[in-house]
Amino acid sequence: MVTIRLLSAKTLSPCKLLDLISVSNIKKNIIDALEDIKAFDIVSLDVRKLTSIADYMIIASASSSRQTKALANNVQDRMKEINVGVVGMEGESEGDWVLVDVGDVVVHIMTPTTRAYYNLEELWSKA
């Protein structure tokens, strides 16, 4: 008989929780949260060989700065649902580019103009 002990997000740091939950499950939940609020051009990049700051980057577009904020909040809410803490969020006040740091997965949500200007896909093209 196997006993599974559930841990509270308040008990462990976000990085420790990532050790317990599959990163692929986290990615799937992030993408689902983005799709729920109609993000488009969603790209997932494996950046493990290029940087130590994250294993994966997910880049998504939103039609407005209001939508970028809603998408970021939905990602944060979804992470709470699966007991994964968000390390940080940046850019909510401006809204053209909102970053959600989930430890091993970093999510970039941008308006199309901002996404074209910074061209993160090209920057991380070796991924």
Residue 7 domain-assigned (yes or no): no
Residues 102 and 94: beta-carbon distance below 8 Å: no
- Whole domain around residue 89: which residue ranges? 14-123
Tokens representing residue 104 in the block: 């091993």
- Which amino acid type is present at position 53? I
Residue 2 domain-assigned (yes or no): no
- Over pLDDT 70: what percentage of the chain? 83
Residue 4 domain-assigned (yes or no): no
Please choose, from the candidates 66, 69, 60, 61, the residue with its C-alpha nearest in 3D space to the C-alpha of residue 106. Answer: 60
Please tell me the total count of domains within the chain: 1
- Over pLDDT 90: what percentage of the chain? 63
Residue 66 domain-assigned (yes or no): yes
pLDDT digits (tens, 9 = 90+) for 47-101: 988 888 898 999 999 999 999 999 999 999 999 999 998 999 999 888 899 999 9
Please choose, from the candidates 15, 24, 59, 66, the residue with its C-alpha nearest in 3D space to the C-alpha of residue 40. Answer: 59
Residue with tokens 């940087």: 51
What is the pTM for the complete model shown?
0.81
Residue 27 domain-assigned (yes or no): yes
Is the pLDDT at 2 greater than 50, yes or no?
Answer: no
**pLDDT level of residue 4 (50, 70, 90 thresholds):** very low
Residue 1 domain-assigned (yes or no): no
CATH assignment at residue 64: 3.30.460.10
